[in-house]
Chains A and B, each alone.
Chain A
Amino acid sequence: MDVLLTSTAEAFRLLFSGNPEIWEIVGISFRVSSMAILAAVPPALVIAFTLAYGSFPGRRFLISLFNTFLSVPAVVIGLTLFIILSRQGPMGDFKLLFTQTAMGLGQFFLCLPILVCMAHVSLQAADRAAWETARTLGANRLRAFFTVLYEIRFGLMAALLAGYGRIISEVGASMMLGGNIAHYTRNIPTAIALETSKGAFAEGIALGIVLLFLAFVLNSLLQYVQGKGSINP
């Protein structure tokens, strides 16, 4: 109990004394995860839309497949990409292993299934009439696509937050692909793992507090968005 209290007190001191190293780690986390999710949104939307509105053989199979990907452990994605990006792997020439790009790629594949599945569910729940109406009123397919996306914007926002929440707190893939290099690929979760292994619990807790605070902000945002999307007057 004593360790917990003193470590937490020390953690707050670290955070608010403007310790540059901690804030640098926080910055790297946000930059990499934001890039990853921004890159994942467009393909996820297209895939979800195709799954919901398309009719082609293997559609149901693909839906099951993406749902299955929801439960892939992060380290498995990490290991697969590690092998692909390693110099002896098929994409070894690009020298991507142990870079922020590699870390971002791992997070991209981690959040993609979440975005696809949640967007797909939203599309399924939405009225197909939005699409039909837009088309009848002369909108082209792209325009109609955006009309439908607007209809399900609250569901999409929730998908975005869920996806972001997963990748910003993920340690396994980031550790394998980024290598936890100081000032470069050390993000919040890998730094927590490192500080814990060094026995520096205060730093670990300080970073944990930042993550918790972020989770709180994300959830409040979600609450706010869903509040506006209420069906009550």
Chain B
Amino acid sequence: MFRKALLMAASLLVMGQASADASLLRLATTTSTANSGLMDLLLPKFTAETAIEVHLIAVGTGKALRLGREGDVDIVLVHARAAEDAFVDAGYGTDRADVMYNDFIIVGPETDPAGTAKSNTVAEVLQRIHASEKPFISRGDDSGTHKRELVLWQSASKSPDGSWYREVGQGMGKTLQIANEIDGYTMTDRGTWLAYESKLDIQLLFEGDPPLFNPYGIIAVNPERHPDVNYPGAIKLINWMTSPAAQKMIGEFKIKGQQLFVPSVGNAS
């Protein structure tokens, strides 16, 4: 009885809102993709071709995967390979495909007190920062960037602790601003860096080591777990994102004259 009343009240509330609608797709993605403007370029084209409207929800990778697990979105586009594989293995997601990759870079004060610019590998960069105990700002928010940073510390065989290592629990932009204010080092994705570079005094110090590459995967939420997700729509988006036309657009997307993402299809090693 109570449940019935609730249902009636809620259906009154919903009033004409699209629910369980095949023409609506909910995509959870990371702030780095959404903030770069890439999705603003791609999604309208997808909508024009398929008449499927995409609601883009920008959160950290951890939250995006959680939304997928709970069935609150139909599809996720994230960058944290290990977590993605675990997500698929656990049966939460299906039909994973590589879409593109970009890279992380190490930025820090122009004076480079830890001498990181002399390094040959990112492991060496982190070892130098660790040895110098100069401030390092970590996202500390369980995002894809944060997860990657922790993996890099591990492969550098250093544990980031001590008062020089500061977890701020903020997005990439805020983290860069904090690093700038206290003359610290941090690791950032290139897209956010390009958006912020002109407002900051800190400099790009290290780039190009393969462990810094950052692949993005797209995963449909498993319809066997959540029967009412828009699975056909999700598959359409996966096919479209990996199609030659979309891959070309990804490769040609530029911020301030710099290419941000490298398409994965055809480039897969």
Residues in A lying within 8 Å of B, measured CB to CB:
3, 86-88, 91-101, 105, 179-182, 184, 194, 196-201
Our pick among A96, A184, A198 for the contact of B173 (Cβ within 8 Å) is A198
Q: Given contacts A3-B199, A180-B58, A181-B56, are A101 and B70 in contact (CB under 8 A)?
A: no
Q: Is the CB–CB distance between A199 and B199 below 8 Å?
A: yes
Q: Is the CB–CB distance between A91 and B57 below 8 Å?
A: no
- How far is A92 from B229 in the complex, measured between Cα atoms in Å? 13
Kindly list chain B residues whose C-beta atoms are within 8 Å of the C-beta of A179: 55, 57, 59
Q: Given contacts A181-B55, A197-B171, are A96 and B72 in contact (CB under 8 A)?
A: no
Q: Is the CB–CB distance between A197 and B173 below 8 Å?
A: yes
Q: Is the CB–CB distance between B72 and A98 below 8 Å?
A: yes
Chain B residue nearest to A181 in the complex (CB) = B55
SS of A interface (majority): loop
- How far is A179 from B73 in the complex, measured between Cα atoms in Å? 11
Chain B residue nearest to A99 in the complex (CB) = B17
Tell me whether B20 is interfacial, beta carbon within 8 Å.
yes
Tell me whether B182 is interfacial, beta carbon within 8 Å.
no
Chain B residue nearest to A102 in the complex (CB) = B13
Q: Is the CB–CB distance between A97 and B31 below 8 Å?
A: no
Tell me whether B226 is interfacial, beta carbon within 8 Å.
yes
- How far is A87 from B70 in the complex, measured between Cα atoms in Å? 6
Kindly list chain A residues whose C-beta atoms are within 8 Å of the C-beta of B171: 197
Chain B residue nearest to A198 in the complex (CB) = B35
Q: Is the CB–CB distance between A182 and B31 below 8 Å?
A: no
A–B complex contacts, Cβ < 8 Å, 19 sampled: A86-B70, A87-B71, A88-B70, A88-B71, A92-B71, A94-B10, A94-B13, A95-B20, A96-B10, A98-B55, A98-B72, A98-B73, A99-B17, A101-B14, A179-B55, A179-B57, A182-B56, A196-B173, A197-B172
- How far is A3 from B31 in the complex, measured between Cα atoms in Å? 24
Chain A residue nearest to B172 in the complex (CB) = A197
Kindly list chain B residues whose C-beta atoms are within 8 Å of the C-beta of A88: 70-71
Q: Is the CB–CB distance between A199 and B196 below 8 Å?
A: yes
- How far is A97 from B28 in the complex, measured between Cα atoms in Å? 13
Kindly list chain B residues whose C-beta atoms are within 8 Å of the C-beta of A200: 195
Q: Given contacts A94-B14, A98-B26, A197-B35, are A87 and B57 in contact (CB under 8 A)?
A: no
Kindly list chain A residues whose C-beta atoms are within 8 Å of the C-beta of B72: 86-87, 97-98
- How far is A182 from B43 in the complex, measured between Cα atoms in Å? 12
Which B17-75 residues have a C-beta within 8 angstroms of A?
Answer: 17, 19-20, 26, 31, 35, 40, 55-59, 70-73
B70, chain A: closest CB distance, angstroms: 5
- 5 closest A-B pairs by beta carbon, nearest first, are A179-B57, A87-B71, A95-B19, A197-B173, A94-B10
Chain B residue nearest to A100 in the complex (CB) = B17
A25, chain B: closest CB distance, angstroms: 14
Q: Is the CB–CB distance between A96 and B57 below 8 Å?
A: no
Tell me whether B174 is interfacial, beta carbon within 8 Å.
yes
- How far is A74 from B202 in the complex, measured between Cα atoms in Å? 35
Q: Is the CB–CB distance between B226 and A199 below 8 Å?
A: no
* Additional A-B contact list (18), CB under 8 Å, known A91-B6, A197-B174: A86-B70, A86-B72, A87-B72, A87-B226, A88-B70, A94-B11, A94-B14, A95-B228, A99-B14, A100-B17, A105-B13, A179-B59, A181-B55, A181-B57, A194-B35, A197-B173, A199-B195, A199-B196
Kindly list chain B residues whose C-beta atoms are within 8 Å of the C-beta of A86: 70, 72
- How far is A105 from B10 in the complex, measured between Cα atoms in Å? 11
Q: Is the CB–CB distance between B195 and A98 below 8 Å?
A: no
Kindly list chain A residues whose C-beta atoms are within 8 Å of the C-beta of B6: 91
Q: Is the CB–CB distance between A101 and B35 below 8 Å?
A: no
B45, chain A: closest CB distance, angstroms: 15
Kindly list chain B residues whose C-beta atoms are within 8 Å of the C-beta of A180: 57-58
A95, chain B: closest CB distance, angstroms: 4
Kindly list chain A residues whose C-beta atoms are within 8 Å of the C-beta of B10: 91, 94, 96
A158, chain B: closest CB distance, angstroms: 28
- How far is A182 from B58 in the complex, measured between Cα atoms in Å? 10
Kindly list chain A residues whose C-beta atoms are within 8 Å of the C-beta of B70: 86-88
Kindly list chain B residues whose C-beta atoms are within 8 Å of the C-beta of A101: 13-14, 17
